Structure 1
Amino acid sequence: MKDNDSALEGQEQELFEHYRFVADKGQNPLRVDKYLMNLIENVTRNKVQNAAKSGNIYVNDVPVKQNYKVKGGDVVKVLFEHPPYEFLLVAEDIPIDIVYEDDELLVVNKPAGMVVHPGHGNYSGTLINALTFHFENLPKNSNDRPGLIHRIDKDTSGLLVVAKTEHAMTHLAKQFFDKTSSREYIALVWGNIEEEEGTVEGHIGRHPKNRMQNTVYEDGSQGKPAVTHFKVLERLGYVTLVSCKLETGRTHQIRVHMKHIGHTLFNDERYGGEKILKGTTFTKYKQFVDNCFKILPRQALHAKTLGFEHPTTGKWIEFNTDLPEDMQECIEKWRGYAKHMED
């Protein structure tokens, strides 16, 4: 028995905890594979089911199959033999565009194409890899990610604040949680928005059929509350330039909310914005739009303004960045096209 026990103990020591969730007390019985798909970003059902078949999903420290029904209070863990990314995190000498820095924090301007933190196949080349190289002993957030207060999508450019001390991490995280920080994004969307300004409200959660997308649940039955305030900046014929201010910070929030009101972000492939959604299908128009797609090979979204209370001085500080060149060039082309339409 001792030999068997030792073998079991050795096996357990080789498993690393990648995810841990405690089901809410009011959780209705739900298959563990569906439960995890709702909580783990960008995971597929196939991956979850394979993890269950391999004995990597534990509930209350007992391995379960994918059809186990999660109940209130259950502790759900996903364990693998390889360590999670934080154990594999490699410091990389990647340039960072620092807009502001002091002893407590820094504000960076992230380029489009850079993933913010490692995970799900992106274990290198991320902002966290770069920060780890340039700064020592950054505090970790609740997900063990060094310095990270919030994040923006890989193909979204713009401003992020990073904490350099535990005090700054706690103070800034509370501001984002309490919705007292200020974030303005600039987006180019399909169609002519009739209203000059407005507000989109609707719970955002995982799409029931396309697991790579999120969607709006107007009845609030699923997802988390989300509020986006938008204002038209410029009408450019078949597209509109808008300012979006976030009251909440859900995954893909602006992308999902703008699609929900019929104005998908220009060239947002995940949400269908890479198709010609407005205008004509004439050859010249299609060629014009394709040229715009080549200039801006990503969703037209930039985190332009970021404001918050400094964790030490208590003063409100705000930062602005210019639109990146790809967005500027694309907008200029649409301005020319819109002028040609008027003539």
Structure 2
Amino acid sequence: MVELLPNKFPLCHNGPKAAMVLLFLASLSFLISCSEASQDAPHGSSASLSSESMSKSIQDAADKVSIDLSVDSHSSKQQSEILVPKEKINDKSISGNSDASGITLKDNSKGVMSDANSSGESDSEVENTTQKAYEEDGFYENAKVQIRGKYLPELVPGYQDTAIGLQAPEIKGTDLDGGEIYVGGRGPTTLIMVLAHWCPHCRNEVRELSPFLNETDTLDRVRIVTLLTSINEERANFPPHIWLDLEKWPVPSIVDTPSSEIANAYGVNSFPFFIVINDKGEVVLRLPGRLGVETLVKLLNAIEEMDETGIEN
């Protein structure tokens, strides 16, 4: 059962929009996901997905409701006391689409090429002479992250998500170009898309969403980050950067460790998996399974509306 939570981001002048969150979250609780766990799924097994008719019914239900991403400010949920033994992250803003220079994460992913172009080299020369970080030997095997905070509980299908309202772990990791990327803490609300390269439903989701994200200004309006996890060179579709390049995936990606430390910290247990962290670093939504363009648009609109209403302290 999903409970309608008190709204930490009041929409007191827009009650009808907030009133339908119960129906929406109840519908999305049945979103279809890969049944394999991020670490223990056997090699060669296929992820399970329910029928297309079920997926369509979820979309139909979503068409009739609005999304409210409010957090229960009166709850007293206790977060798991599993402390992540990682070195302290530098005291700096660890969320946001920009660094001190104002370069967005999307732009920063092209930083090497931009620097080379400014020196007068042609695009073809840059492409031929610049080695991407993911082309280095052992890039995925040696991926490292810093995590500050406590593990979130796993999402249990059919039950209210006990992670809602908890502080999400703060993550400092590496993107596909070898640069630093941050998630969590205070900063712009962030939608995290958790993907596994071997998961067929992740591949279908990327194939559907990529044209939409490339053809709209979505990434300029809402911060989205891909978490590449459960990376295994012995499984299908490895390495993941080739897959994302072929699909022209425009979303910045953070690379998880071989033991999927980031996914474990977020309580991820299926793929694809979506997490929304608000500008106070709190979890406001976790969803397993494919969304598709229509539901993603509703979710993005809700994120923008939440940010526009501001926070009442």
| TM-score bracket for the superposition, by shorter chain length | under 0.3
Q: Computing the radius of gyration over CA atoms, which structure comes out larger, 1 or 2?
A: 1
Normalized against structure 1, the TM-score is what?
0.25
Structure number with the higher strand fraction is 1
Normalized against structure 2, the TM-score is what?
0.27
The structure whose RCO (Cα within 8 Å, separation 6+) is larger is: 2
